Each structure stands twice: as structure tokens, then as C-alpha cells.
Amino acid sequence: MTAVAWVAVAIVAVLVILAVGYLVSARNRRRQLQDRFGPEYDRAVRESDSRKEAEQELRAREERHAELDIRPLDPNTRDEYSRKWTDVQEHFVDAPGFAVTEADALVTAVMAARGYPTDDFEQRLSDLSVAHSTTLDHYRNAHEISTRAARQDATTEELRQAMVHYRALFQELLGDGADAPVNGHTNDHLNGHVDSADDHVDSDGAARNGTAYTTDDHDDYDGVPVNGHRTDVRNAGR
């Protein structure tokens, strides 16, 4: 084999090695994104024109997140928010719609305390997706129900689900882990409050799954229901 032929073989070998290295590196970067973003990776791919575009977006989220001053809560602050969450759950008995509004505000407050910008909901989703991808769908679902609850267009069962959704992210933001109790209470505690709310609805003669609760007749965030009355959304305004 001539020297020229050997050079050609060497060049081809180098190109093959570089190509393999690039493919392996790209696969590793993709796997890292998939591991980090979980279901959010698949969502980004579905909502983008290409996988490459989706991965560029996810990497941009990582870069933005790295520039944020995300910090853990100190124990006293964590306990304070935990007590507030317990209060919100207890409010669910007499005012489910108002409790959901409180839950949304409380989750937003914890986000701000952790260092997340909170001005824009879509940006909140983007920022949270880097470290809280597994609970992000909970937040989306809860926010959607909360928006309808503000229009008195959510059933008691939907409001209960919103509380469970908010709780999933709330626990993660507090740093207690997905299955840890908040202030000593688990989902069973919340479900107990919800069952009580359902019983209360039935005792008033309203349909279980057709009842939403007003939020206009209540005091501000830390307050207790002022009038405490409930309104069937199908009869509201009639």
C-alpha cells in the first residue's frame, strides 16, 4: 500500500472516530436531559418542531436556572409555611374554592422565598422544570382548576384534586420530599377535610359534583371566610 493510501486510510479512520465520538456525546447529552427533565423532555419534543430544537430549549432552561439564586428555606421559614398549608387545608371544609386560591398563593410565595421569579406563569413552569419536572404537571393541573375556580366554574371534586396537585409541588419546594408529610399531615389528612366538605355540601342539599364555592365573600389571604356561604355555579346569578 502506498503512502498516499495509508494517509487516506488514516483520514477515514479519524473521521469515523470523530463521528462515533459525536454520536456518543450527543446520545449522552440527550440521556442527561431525559434524566433531568423526565416527562418535561417528552413534552418539549412534542411541542417543538424537532428534537434538536427541544433540546436547545431545555439546555437554555438549564442555563437560566443556573443564574438564579435558588436557595433552601431555613427551618423556621419552612415550619411557618407548613403551618400555613395546614390552615389552607382546614379552610377547605367550608370554602373549597377559597382554599384553592390560598393554595395557589402559598405555592407562589414559597417559590419566591426559594428565589424563583414569579411574575409570569409560563416562565415559572420553565424555571421549575429544571429541578421539579416530576411535579410540574401537578402544578399545571392545579393552576388550570384554580383559574376556573376564580370564575366559580369548578366542582368540589376538581377543587379537591387541585389541592392534591398543589400539595405535591408544595412539598417539593419545602424540601421534604414527595412522600413526606407537611406539618405532620399526609394526603389522608387532606382527604379527610375534603370528605367533610362533601358531607357538608350534601347536608345543604346541593349536588356533590355540581357545586363550586365563591371566593368573593372572603377576607384576604390569611383570613377566615367572612360569610361562609356556598353558591351552586349552575344557579349563580339567577
* Pick from 176, 211, 178: nearest CA to 194: 211
Of residues 34 and 2, more confidence is placed in 34
Amino acid 28: pLDDT: 66
Amino acid 32: pLDDT: 84
Of residues 115 and 189, more confidence is placed in 115
Exposure string of 8-18, with b = 16+ CB inside 10 Å and e = fewer, is eeeeeeeeeee
Q: For the whole model, what pTM was predicted?
A: 0.67
DSSP state of 179: T
- pLDDT beyond 90 at 163: yes
- pLDDT beyond 90 at 70: yes
Largest CA distance in the chain: 97
pLDDT band, very low/low/confident/very high, at 123 (cuts 50, 70, 90): very high
Written as nine digits, the cell of 188 is: 389522608
Of residues 202 and 37, more confidence is placed in 37
- pLDDT beyond 60 at 184: no
Neighbours of 181 (CB within 10 A): 14
Beta bridge partners of 182: 185
Amino acid 187: pLDDT: 44
CA atoms within 13 A on the CB side of 198: 14
pLDDT band, very low/low/confident/very high, at 35 (cuts 50, 70, 90): confident
- pLDDT beyond 90 at 190: no
Neighbours of 132 (CB within 10 A): 20
Q: Determine contact, residues 103/219, Cβ cutoff 8 Å.
A: no
Of residues 148 and 216, more confidence is placed in 148
Q: Determine contact, residues 155/170, Cβ cutoff 8 Å.
A: no
pLDDT band, very low/low/confident/very high, at 25 (cuts 50, 70, 90): low
DSSP class per residue in 21-69: HHHHHHHHHHHHHHHHHTHHHHHHHHHSSSHHHHHHHHHHHHHHHHHS-
Q: Determine contact, residues 140/104, Cβ cutoff 8 Å.
A: no
